[in-house]
Structure 1
């Protein structure tokens, strides 16, 4: 039957994991999985027999293709010994893979988590682990990863190549870590899922369908993490952040597809079921003091405020200060400054001088994503304190560089221009 909405996201990690176990190579697994998916699409397009199990069909096709290529390369090496031996994974005894998969099935480990834990191997540098996990498991593009990490696309691509090479050299073959190893790698896995959601939250304000909804996919992986680590406050804090972010998403754009400022949001559109679930997670996470426990507390304050004006901005600024101590980041610094400014707005522009100077420095010197946030914050402060002319000029400049369409339309509206 034709592939339904959301089924690809469920099938892909199952296919890759099965192929990685079979071939002994994560790189080969990705390559042959992509080939099998393309063949499945062509099979259905050409009127072939309906595919009942997409994952099983693609896995079987990919295994045959890999074996065919291995046999062909074996013949080439035998007949032309002067050729260099290609860097391909060598399958071990299939019974070993079957046993490993059976063990993981008994543990109930989600396929996506299995791949995330593989990608977060200690043999790989922390920066490269993040790139590998975001690309292979979370499905982000290299430009999206580069933007999230604040690096050049070429640097992100180079890290991805180095990570795959280091993983192959260190382990020799695909290996899902045991429970002790997974516990050590858990913080990086959590950060990867958070990165996946952050990119979605920044770039997909109003997803067209489930296939484009990276935010919901991040929630699905967070659910699997909670199932595996139900008592971990950082895991529960991560899910709280994702749940609360998704709960507030319906109010982020108006009916024309234009983004809205926080004080313009219709809070009655928020998803109350997700809000309650997210606040439950945030309450549990409050037992910890790590990065995601603090982020959950911040998201909880935003989500529980009845109106924009009644938001406890002073407390949010304090929490961002604590978060900055644990996880120094330009984006966290911008958020702390924004919350501080909101708590001082009643005193007028004179009370914002030091905040605006810090934001201007970040606008000039911070990585692209934080620089854009600083620019938006400065424009908003000018707008709210009646300095409409400089605010309009800043929004006009932002509209030239912002790639997210709802946000671009918002900037044009504030600049007094009509979106094309």
Structure 2
């Protein structure tokens, strides 16, 4: 299975889980898995025989490398006190039975039915780690996000995210010792954080990869795959089903987010005929089941369902969306939710012939405050919302200036091109 075929995403969590069980250390598992992947790439570049099972090949290579290093360390520890003795007999200590056990033997009795990625997520979301550090560990080790992506999602500096990752690994090692996959009761306690991590993975994808070039870049689809595994494990949990509804509906609407020339589209410009009808129907089914609950993701699913079920932008039920965002803000008071509520409020006012000017003035005042004081991701959203509001209320000159400034700082290419278009600048 060549590296470019998408096999990496499927194989990586299997390799890491097997190695973590084998070595007893999540840190070692990551290190030796990365080494094995590098060797697999070199093997393919050199024209070696085809690798039939990427996961099995890398796991085997990594285990041998770890055993070699373990034997070397064992010899060094035993011989260190004797190094000054010229008559010392440098015979290697035998590898212990614990080390020599096969990874499959070690983990066969634990969570055979649980998806490898979920097993690692539940490990990463250990209560011994602070909530913020759990999120960083899970997003980095299991979801595969970069430190910069994680920092942007959490609204912190890269150095802070890296420090949290280091603290999380150290705390996990000190609290649990050898790698341990949690039992059913432990998993139930950790489930809310696991759900939030998968949501974070999809949020980063939804913000940064509007039109993925291939499967390797499609973090959104990878998040859906993990959400599918969560639903298989917890089919009646309304928050799990709400999470999958949000992801399914987001992916269903993704084909309409970018024009043929690579420019992002505003919501009222989207051709809804391009949306994935199958994913829409499946997502709405999940949202219907999730509606039995009132948690964060049940509410997010209801909001996504209203956006997805509207036949046109103009016929979107904005007043109901405003109500749902208000409930969500009480449940989960995030700056990004506040921005979204304000955007929906503005849209509801603009869609009403007898609009209330004071209401739009208040929306702008709150958005301006968020633009100044909110974390970077919410500040950018507030700036985009202000530019859009100015655009829709006829203040095109002010809007163009704001879009021009945004084009200088926006890193996502389709969104940058959208800002340039509205700023009336020539696109490259």
TM norm. shorter chain > 0.5: yes
> What CA deviation, in whole Å up to 9, does each residue of 1:72-112 have, x standing for no partner?
112222232499xxxxxx99365595444212364x10000
Pairing 1:408–2:387 present? no
User: CA contact under 8 A between 1:24 and 1:92: conserved in structure 2?
Assistant: no
Pairing 1:41–2:47 present? no
1:10-409 superposed matches below 5 A? 10-81=10-81, 92=98, 95=101, 98-104=104-110, 106=112, 108-345=113-350, 346=352, 347=355, 351-409=359-417
User: CA contact under 8 A between 1:6 and 1:210: conserved in structure 2?
Assistant: yes
In 2: Cα distance, 1:396 partner to 1:266 partner: 26
Label 1:206 to 1:96 Cα distance change in 2 as closer, same or farther (>3 A).
Answer: closer
User: CA contact under 8 A between 2:22 and 2:106: conserved in structure 1?
Assistant: no
SS in 1 for 2:265: coil
In 2: Cα distance, 1:33 partner to 1:352 partner: 54
Alignment correspondent of 1:86: none
Shift of 1:4: 5.2
In 1: Cα distance, 2:361 partner to 2:82 partner: 71
In 1: Cα distance, 2:242 partner to 2:380 partner: 26
In 1: Cα distance, 2:129 partner to 2:306 partner: 37
Shift of 1:411: 0.2
Q: TM-score, normalised by structure 1?
A: 0.96
Pair member with larger Rg: 2
Label 1:376 to 1:91 Cα distance change in 2 as closer, same or farther (>3 A).
Answer: farther
In 2: Cα distance, 1:138 partner to 1:69 partner: 28
In 2: Cα distance, 1:99 partner to 1:179 partner: 20
Shift of 1:355: 0.6
SS in 2 for 1:92: helix
In 2: Cα distance, 1:304 partner to 1:118 partner: 37
SS in 1 for 2:311: coil
In 1: Cα distance, 2:322 partner to 2:5 partner: 40
User: CA contact under 8 A between 2:152 and 2:376: conserved in structure 1?
Assistant: yes
Query: 5+ unaligned residues in a row in structure 2: which ranges?
Result: 84-95
In 2: Cα distance, 1:372 partner to 1:150 partner: 11
User: CA contact under 8 A between 2:257 and 2:264: conserved in structure 1?
Assistant: yes
User: CA contact under 8 A between 2:251 and 2:279: conserved in structure 1?
Assistant: yes
Alignment correspondent of 2:90: none
SS in 1 for 2:110: helix
Shift of 1:265: 0.3
User: CA contact under 8 A between 2:263 and 2:414: conserved in structure 1?
Assistant: yes
Alignment correspondent of 2:86: none
Q: State the superposition RMSD in angstroms.
A: 1.6
Q: How many residues align?
A: 413
Q: TM-score, normalised by structure 2?
A: 0.94
In 1: Cα distance, 2:404 partner to 2:412 partner: 15
User: CA contact under 8 A between 2:231 and 2:241: conserved in structure 1?
Assistant: yes
Shift of 1:3: 3.5
